[in-house]
Amino acid sequence: MRSEPLYYTKKGKAYCGDSLELLSELPDNSVDLVMTSPPFALRRQKTYGNVVETEYVEWIKPFGKAVFRVLKETGSLVLDLGGAYKSGIPSRSLYNFRVLLMFCDEIGFHLSEDFYWFNPAKLPSPIEWVNKRKIRAKDSVNTVWWFSKTAFPKADVRKVLVPYSDRMKKLIEDPDSFYKPKKRPSGHDISAGFGKNNGGAIPANLLTIPNTDSNSSYLRLCKELGLQRHPARFPTELPAFFIKMLTDEKDIILDIFGGSNTTGFTAEALNRKWLTFELDREYLSASIIRFLDGYSVEEIREILCKLKSNQSNYQLEKIYCTLEPAKATKQRRQYIFQPSLFPSEDDCIEKKNRKNILENDSPASIPPSPIVNRIA
Ligand SMILES: C[S@@+](CC[C@H](N)C(=O)[O-])C[C@H]1O[C@@H](n2cnc3c(N)ncnc32)[C@H](O)[C@@H]1O
């Protein structure tokens, strides 16, 4: 690509800019999976630039066309879209279904499968219809459209098997006492192979993933550093499911609405190559902390200072990247004086002075730094 990344690891690069422009720098047929969650068509404007539902389809069309061009023939696009209501009335917007139809009818995508992400932890909304008037149920399911360029994208559901139910486990232990192989009235031919242990069950297209994330190192570090956390992150489990099912190690994953770079982080942990595009420099800069678990707060502040002064191209050599819940690192120093994302130049100088003081101050309490390259 012509543009320089804001930061990069051995496997991926995070670019700040309009993804339409950045997409134009990518060659045709070069990406294995685009996993993304655009700003939704919400009635209330959020800080990250939502588009109103009536203009949404036209807004997203050029992104869809550009993604179609850069995807390999075996490639997929997974688009997470939250539901929305029309303005002022308790009627649902059809924008996510219109996007689906337009992507297939006009751009030429195949709908490989429609997925539904159920987030049981979602707060009730919209307040007017759900909490106040109590005339609608809470909206806790996002539509997740799995598009592909051809009818047979790369996919292997065996990579995302889920644990067997207790009943199925008993059946596998003793198939004879549970069923007799025969053709059911429904037409299903239940053969003897039904009781075979395949290491897990085929997952459903309803993904139940609570978006709680309260223990993640990203949130913890945002708090410790006084950074504003991205308000519309998806949980790592969502991209992890599709990355595992639709790609192999070393394949290229792209997120064109990167936000806090959940997709890049997940791809890195799963040993894939990744690219992230994000318009907002503050969000993208803050996303670097996903890769800095185990660094001290002082070291992270120094890196954020560098991102500010060097503009771009920061190389992350030693990173800690795992999808396992991060172990609490209670030992960190919490000398956080200013709440803004980027400390001023004076703050950077002051921070260096403070670091000198810290280094002469009970060194046993300063955590070991940086951590080895640990990939899940
Ligand atoms: C719903 S958020 C994505 C959050 C992300 N999935 C995560 O887990 O952090 C959508 C993001 O798209 C970004 N965005 C909006 N328009 C964009 C554009 N034209 N190019 C690049 N990013 C854009 C917004 O700044 C916002 O951070």
For residue 116, give both structure tokens: 């539904």
Task: Provide mean pLDDT across the span 232-261.
Answer: 97
Between 221 and 66, where is the model more confident?
66
Closest CA to 60 of 19, 24, 94: 19
Pocket test for ligand 1, best of 24, 236, 278, 283 (most atoms within 8 A of CB): 278
Taking the CA atoms of residue 326, residue 328, residue 330 and residue 333 in that order, the dihedral angle to the nearest 10 degrees is 20
- Give the mutation target among 257, 281, 283 for probing the ligand 1 site: most ligand atoms within 8 A of CB: 257
Sequence-ordered list of residues with C-beta below 8 angstroms from that of 33, at least 6 positions apart, any chain: 75, 76, 77, 78, 242, 243, 246, 247, 251, 252, 253, 254
pLDDT at 26: 98
Q: DSSP H helical segments within 247-342, as ranges?
A: 262-269, 281-287, 297-310
Q: 32 CA distance to ligand 1 centroid (A)?
A: 20
Q: Is 148 part of the annotated catalytic residue set? A: no
Ligand 1 centre and the CA of 39: distance in Å? 6
Q: Which atom of ligand 1 is nearest to the CA of 19?
A: 20
* 151: pLDDT strictly greater than 60: yes
Centroid of ligand 1 to alpha carbon of 69 (angstroms) = 20
Q: Is 80 a known active-site residue? A: yes
Distance 284 CA to ligand 1 centre (A): 10
Q: Which fold has domain 7-158+203-306?
A: Rossmann fold (3.40.50)
> From CA 215, how far away is CA 319, in angstroms rounded?
19
- Give the number of the atom of ligand 1 that is nearest the alpha carbon of residue 262: 8
What sign has the CA pseudo-torsion 285, 290, 295, 298? positive
Residue 73 in 3-state DSSP?
A: strand
Give ligand 1 pocket residues (Cβ under 6 A): 18-20, 37-39, 48-49, 230, 232-234, 257, 259-260, 262, 277-280, 283
| Helical packing angle, 297-310 and 345-359, nearest 10° | 150
> pLDDT averaged over the chain?
83
Per-residue pLDDT band at 155 (split at 50, 70, 90): very high
Give the pLDDT confidence score for residue 325 in this predicted structure.
57
**Ramachandran sector of residue 166 (left: φ over 0; alpha: ψ -120 to 50; beta: rest):** alpha
Of residues 345 and 198, more confidently modeled: 198
User: One-letter amino acid identity for 53?
Assistant: E
* Contact in structure between 244 and 270 (CB atoms under 8 Å): yes
Residue 126, preceding peptide bond in cis (omega within 30° of 0): yes
For residue 319, the model assigns a pLDDT of 82
User: Which of 333, 287, 348 lies closest to 314, judged by CA?
Assistant: 287
Q: If you measure from the C-alpha of residue 38 to the centroid of ligand 1, how many angstroms do you get, rounded to a whole number?
A: 6
- Condensed to tens digits (0 to 9), the pLDDT of residues 270-300 reads 999 999 999 999 899 999 999 988 888 898 9
Active site residue 38: yes
Q: Where are the beta strands (DSSP E) in 242-370?
A: 252-255, 273-278, 314-315, 320-321
Domain ranges of the chain: 7-158+203-306, 166-195
* Burial of 10 from C-beta contacts in 10 A (0-12 / 13-18 / 19+): exposed
pTM of the model: 0.84
Q: What is the dihedral of CA 220, 223, 228, 230, to 10 degrees?
A: 20
Query: Of all atoms in ligand 1, which is nearest to the CA of residue 230?
Result: 9
Residues 285, 341 contacting (CB under 8 angstroms): yes
Instruction: Kindly give the number of the ligand 1 atom that is closest to the alpha carbon of 277.
Output: 21
Please name the residue whose Cα sits nearest to atom 17 of ligand 1. 279
Give the separation between CA 56 and CA 195, rounded to whole angstroms: 48
Q: Which of 5, 32, 37, 293 is catalytic?
A: 37
- Residue with CA at minimum distance from ligand 1 atom 16: 279
d(CA 103, CA 235): 25
Q: How confident is the model at residue 168 (pLDDT cuts 50, 70, 90)?
A: confident
pLDDT average, residue stretch 310-320 = 81
Listed in sequence order, the residues at least 6 apart from 122 whose beta carbon sits closer than 8 Å to its beta carbon are 138, 139, 140, 211
287 CA distance to ligand 1 centroid (A)? 12
Strand-pair partners of 374: 320
Residue 328's pLDDT is 41
